[in-house]
Chains A and B, each alone.
Chain A
Amino acid sequence: RKEVEQDPGPFNVPEGATVAFNCTYSNSASQSFFWYRQDCRKEPKLLMSVYSSGNEDGRFTAQLNRASQYISLLIRDSKLSDSATYLCVRRDGNKLVFGAGTILRVKS
């Protein structure tokens, strides 16, 4: 079983749609989680950290459910510029463990 599992997609959505990505992890000792965004052939960039209480940053909301070992990312009012691969990440000591990513394509 992969340490971090994501639905690879792609998710094809129209502009303005709400889209949700899910991620599960296998190591219950993990303490810190993140969502990164990676554009085609570019480096990953931190989108947001994920906290148990849930956190919101503009159109983006992240949730963590430790009991179910489940993380989610909700994007509201999708923009064309949101098209990218979204990476679910957990911290394992000093290293980051990445999921394979979920592809989002927002179309006009």
Chain B
Amino acid sequence: NAGVMQNPRHLVRRRGQEARLRCSPMKGHSHVYWYRQLPEEGLKFMVYLQKENIIDESGMPKERFSAEFPKEGPSILRIQQVVRGDSAAYFCASSPIYSETPTYEQYFGPGTRLTVT
């Protein structure tokens, strides 16, 4: 059973370009979460999605960031017009339906390290 997959693992973008980060949840998982880890800091929640729905985007910056989880295909985190401050590790996590796991464990992917030059 493959774990959460993310690609690319490393992404370099120049200031002003767009970054697209992809996440495929574990098989059977329908909930996806994106977290950002800035250098020397803890992980910070960004957004929680289910298929075709954004459930909670309270951690998303108001501008330039968007996320989707289409009916088919991976979840995408999109950052437009990247700036140096966007350089970070972006982790995706997935979980099964809440009622099936009382501890509500989230399984993390290996992350995408974004570097903005």
Residues of B within 8 A of A94 (CB): 31, 33, 48, 55-56, 98
**Looking across the interface, which residue of chain A has its beta carbon closest to that of B106?**
A96
Number of interface residues of A (CB under 8 A): 21
**Looking across the interface, which residue of chain A has its beta carbon closest to that of B91?**
A43
Q: How far is the CB of A24 from chain B (nearest CB, A)?
A: 14
Pairwise interchain contact A91-B59, C-beta atoms closer than 8 A: no
Q: How far is the CB of A64 from chain B (nearest CB, A)?
A: 13
Pairwise interchain contact A97-B111, C-beta atoms closer than 8 A: no
Residues of A within 8 A of B104 (CB): 32, 91
Q: Which of B6-53 contact A (CB under 8 A)?
A: 31, 33, 35, 41-45, 48
Chain B residues touching A, range: 20 to 34
Q: How far is the CB of A87 from chain B (nearest CB, A)?
A: 7
**Looking across the interface, which residue of chain B has its beta carbon closest to that of A88?**
B42
Pairwise interchain contact A95-B59, C-beta atoms closer than 8 A: yes
B1 is an interface residue with CB less than 8 A from chain A: no
Task: Known contacts A42-B110, A43-B91, A94-B31; decide if A32 and B103 are in contact (CB<8 Å).
Answer: yes
Pairwise interchain contact A43-B109, C-beta atoms closer than 8 A: yes
Residues of A within 8 A of B108 (CB): 43-45
A99 to B103, CA, bound (A): 19
Residues of A within 8 A of B110 (CB): 42-43
**Looking across the interface, which residue of chain A has its beta carbon closest to that of B56?**
A94
Residues of A within 8 A of B42 (CB): 4, 87, 98-101
Beyond the given A91-B104, A98-B43, please list 6 additional residue pairs across the A-B interface where CB-CB is below 8 A.
A95-B59, A96-B35, A96-B93, A98-B35, A98-B42, A101-B42
Which residues does B use to contact A, with CB under 8 Å?
31, 33, 35, 41-45, 48, 55-56, 58-59, 89, 91, 93, 98, 103-111, 113
Which residues does A use to contact B, with CB under 8 Å?
4, 32, 34, 41-46, 49, 87, 91, 93-101
CB<8 Å pairs between A and B, sample of 23? A4-B42, A32-B103, A41-B89, A41-B113, A43-B91, A43-B109, A44-B43, A44-B108, A46-B105, A87-B42, A91-B104, A94-B55, A94-B56, A95-B33, A95-B48, A95-B56, A96-B33, A96-B35, A96-B45, A96-B106, A98-B35, A98-B43, A101-B42
